[in-house]
Amino acid sequence: MSQANNILFIASLLILVSIFAGSASSRFGVPFLLVFLGLGLLAGVDGPGGIEFSDFNLTYSVGSAALAIILFDGGLRTKFTTVKLVAGPALGLATVGVVLTATLVAVATHWITNLGWLESFLVGAIVGSTDAAAVFFLLNVRGLALQKRVSGTLEVESGINDPMAIFLTMACVELLSLGQPPSNLALAAQFLAQMVGGCLIGAAGGFALVALFNRVPVAGGLYPIVAMAATLLIFSGAHFVQASGYIAVYVAGLVLGNRRHRGAQVVLRFFDGLSWLGQIVMFLLLGLLMTPSEMRPDIVPGVVVAIFLIVVARPLAVALCLLPFRYTLPEIGFISWVGLRGAVPIFLATIPVLFGVPNAGIYVSIAFFCVVASLLLQGWTIGVAARLFGLELPPPVEAPTRTDIDLGNALDRDIASYRVEPNCIAQGYNYAEIPLPRRCRIITVIRDGTVMDRSKLERLEAGDYLLVLAPPEQLFSLDRLFALPDRKRRANVPGDEVFGEFTIPADTLLGSLSAMYGVEVEARHREETINAYIRRRLRHAAVVGDRVRLGPVELIVREIKGNRITLVGLELEPEEHPVVRRFRQLFRFG
């Protein structure tokens, strides 16, 4: 009883300290995840905490469950439109990219250490995938506004590439343990069964969960509990039939997050906190598991492999996978740099230990150094890299205070509660003339605790509370009506200047653009609109921030409504980054 109480006391204390230490350290730009790992190391056997912890089985089990929760939460927050936009590139990075990265790391590992080719490839497989948790958390916590194609590629890739790394790791471990390689056909069949099976089980589980929420009413507080239990059921059920549980939970979250259902808001909030808890627990356990004093002989090879992974292997793999999809050099450079490694490599490194593979300690050591290097170098510089490659967009309009009331599938609209901010757009209109989006209606206005008679209202006042009935897709437009109009932007965050000196409607003819700004346009294109010209040149779905050259000037996509570009920025004297210019000179592409 006393031991159980001690464990509970220490675990809860570590979690609380991790949360507040992470919040304090974020003011100095320190990645949260590095703080969690560092606290685990300090609490461990080589730190002042002196806690002896070497339970690899427990770490593997808890890590599996935590990763499943994090992937499900990532799927909940990913839109189908994003997946559609980046499906090809993300799938290429998640499969071919992982294999290429693992192969390149294997070459470096074999050269640096005394490990054989198979052991070296196992090292590459362990560190070959980006970490979904690290990518989701660091991109969201830093609040970066990135081009949708870039952020979507990173998120979808990290959400679906773990199964490939796990598959490669298990194949190498089984080969090292059994000594007999399976046939290529058997490997291919096993891989397809895991990937396809995971997708099918995840889709079935997601649709079943949507139907369950909408047809079987339960107490409001139980919706997130049902979702959590279903997540773990889908994860473990997929493993029972030899499918990928990680793909299954990501797809299930994707389906649930893109379908209307009861309890949507409470499920999102619950999984936001639960995924944070899973991340904290994973890194604390991995920190406790590490024994730095035993890893000293592996410092040099571990650091060299980590640098090679960050500087050579990841960029080469990304470039080979993304160039066929016409990604620009800045996009490739940023995606290469944000190949974050988090808890997953250390988690995968426990597999050789559990299987009793010889020299298993070196896999753990190298994985540890790769994670620390990634968090220090890449995690600390995400914002700098986004600005260096010119991919950071102005932050979106700061949303006003809003609470959503979920009506489930009974209606195709929800109720949103707003607090009117001072000098917001809506205050510039008479109450009856407020330009509400289509199918939106103000139900109630509350002022100083009193429900106002809407027929007698002249104008809204700052501090008023409103209940608005609106379709979910119109909530962003409503936010703009009631938000602060001139929010103070954070220091060092780009403003509208990233869109050039002038703003032009996208339906403007190129001939008119030529007459206004003296831009040379071929006669055969003078009747073409800017919108059509940009889409023809891009050859992929346009996103805000896309840039297209028109002679000496540059057109920048500024606003998109539906599937149509509506506004573009004009940069009269675009400056090309010297790194990009040098690459163009060397390789003659882009």
Task: Report the alpha-carbon distance of residue 345 to residue 348 in Å, rounded.
Answer: 5
Residues 6+ apart with CB under 8 A from 175: 118, 181, 182
Residues of the chain with CATH 3.30.465.10: 496-587
509: pLDDT confidence band, cut at 50, 70 and 90? confident
The domain defined by 402-482 folds into: Alpha-Beta Plaits (3.30.70)
When the pLDDT of each residue in the chain is averaged and rounded to a whole number, the result is 82
Q: Write down the CATH number for the domain with range 496-587.
A: 3.30.465.10
Q: Is residue 588's pLDDT more than 50?
A: no
Could you read off the pLDDT of 366-394 as tens digits, one per residue? Answer: 999 999 999 888 888 887 888 888 787 76
Task: Report the alpha-carbon distance of residue 578 to residue 128 in Å, rounded.
Answer: 30
- Structure token digits, residue 346: 């250390």
Give the model's pLDDT for residue 30. Answer: 55
Q: Is residue 121's pLDDT more than 90?
A: yes
Task: Report the alpha-carbon distance of residue 468 to residue 426 in Å, rounded.
Answer: 13
**Residue showing tokens 């509350």:** 446
Could you read off the pLDDT of 297-307 as tens digits, one per residue? Answer: 888 999 999 99
316: pLDDT confidence band, cut at 50, 70 and 90? very high
Task: Report the alpha-carbon distance of residue 202 to residue 209 in Å, rounded.
Answer: 10
Cα end-to-end span (Å), the chain: 66
The CB-based long-range contact list for 352-361 (8 Å cut-off, 24+ gap) reads: 352/122, 352/173, 352/176, 353/56, 354/56, 354/57, 354/60, 355/173, 355/174, 355/176, 355/177, 356/177, 357/122, 357/173, 357/176, 357/177, 358/176, 359/115, 359/119, 361/294, 361/295, 361/298
In terms of Cβ atoms closer than 10 Å to its own Cβ (0-12, 13-18, 19+), residue 386 is buried
107: pLDDT confidence band, cut at 50, 70 and 90? very high
Give the model's pLDDT for residue 119. Answer: 92
Task: Report the alpha-carbon distance of residue 244 to residue 230 in Å, rounded.
Answer: 16
The domain defined by 2-388 folds into: Na+/H+ antiporter like fold (1.20.1530)
Decide if 360 contacts 335 (C-beta within 8 A): no
Question: What are the residues facing 405 on neighbouring strands?
Answer: 415
Could you read off the pLDDT of 232-261 as tens digits, one per residue? Answer: 999 999 989 988 898 999 999 999 999 888
Residues of the chain with CATH 3.30.70.1450: 402-482
Give the model's pLDDT for residue 250. Answer: 92
Please give the residue that has the higher pLDDT: either 396 or 179.
Answer: 179
Could you read off the pLDDT of 203-235 as tens digits, one per residue? Answer: 999 999 999 998 888 877 788 999 999 999 999
- Written as one letter, the residue type at 62 is V
Q: Is residue 51's pLDDT more than 80?
A: yes
Give the model's pLDDT for residue 307. Answer: 95
Strand ordering across the sheet containing 450-451: 402-405, 414-419, 465-470, 441-447, 450-451
- Written as one letter, the residue type at 183 is S
Decide if 549 contacts 590 (C-beta within 8 A): no
Of 125, 138, 139, 130, give the one whose Cα is nearest residue 158: 130
**Least confident range of 9-13, 318-322, 434-438, 447-451:** 9-13
In terms of Cβ atoms closer than 10 Å to its own Cβ (0-12, 13-18, 19+), residue 435 is exposed
Residue % of the chain over a pLDDT of 70: 85
Residues of the chain with CATH 1.20.1530.20: 2-388
- Written as one letter, the residue type at 276 is W
Q: 257-266, 326-335, 430-439: which has the highest mean pLDDT? A: 326-335
Give the model's pLDDT for residue 486. Answer: 47
Alpha carbon of 405 to those of 53, 281, 414, 440, 454: distances in Å? Answer: 45, 32, 6, 15, 21
- Structure token digits, residue 367: 């994985």
Give the model's pLDDT for residue 578. Answer: 47
